Chains A and B, each alone.
Chain A
Amino acid sequence: AQSVAQPEDQVKVAEGNPLTVKCTYSVSGNPYLFWYVQYPNRGLQFLLKYITGDNLVKGSYGFEAEFNKSQTSFHLKKPSALVSDSALYFCAVRDYRNTPLVFGKGTRLSVIA
């Protein structure tokens, strides 16, 4: 069965600094990987996905993610953090069998001015 780990419950960065939110996964076969963001009292919003192709995926709001097959990781990155990026971030994965997405526990990002 597929699974996702987000090893950090919380990440704090200063505004203007680069940010990384970590995600590792376990699936059978090739993974299909997603990042979602949740702002307070809102539903989840899609940020980006990796299906195949380039290991560096670009998404919404200046975010990007790097797929690393050997390390089974899909870390979310942004070169320069904004205070408005403060939110809860979820990594999700599904495998080749078209099963529903499995989500990680989430990482709360706090960007400090």
Chain B
Amino acid sequence: NAGVTQTPKFQVLKTGQSMTLQCAQDMNHNSMYWYRQDPGMGLRLIYYSASEGTTDKGEVPNGYNVSRLNKREFSLRLESAAPSQTSVYFCASSEEQGRSYGYTFGSGTRLTVV
């Protein structure tokens, strides 16, 4: 099925460990995004990539890095995980970084940092 695929679905990390969350879309979308969802906070933008080869910071980029590997793939890396990064992470894509286009979301990665 066409869509946005995130891996892994669940992960437990110890404080200080690193990991990369993977995201791939097969809809030939240009723009990709990483959000985190926390109770009572809604979705907050971490980083986004308007097109292949570009990345920009969102509202909460500290402690994260991203790589737009190619048009399909956009990864999120935690270099040294902290308990404050316990969250559900969603990747999304859209046809264009344009006004009228909505997003297609992945099913999320639930990350716990202990």
* Residues on A facing B (Cβ under 8 Å): 6, 9, 32, 34, 36, 41-46, 49, 51, 90, 94, 96, 98, 100-106
Contact = CB atoms under 8 A, between A and B. Distances in A.
Given A41-B107, A44-B90, 20 more contacts: A9-B40, A34-B102, A42-B108, A43-B107, A43-B108, A44-B43, A44-B103, A45-B105, A49-B100, A49-B102, A90-B43, A98-B97, A98-B98, A98-B99, A100-B48, A101-B103, A102-B45, A103-B44, A104-B42, A106-B42
B103 A46 contact: yes
Given A90-B42, A105-B41, A106-B42, A96 B99 contact: yes
Interface in B1-52: 4, 33, 35, 40-45, 48
Interface of B: 4, 33, 35, 40-45, 48, 58, 90, 92, 97-100, 102-108
Contacts of A103: 35, 42-44
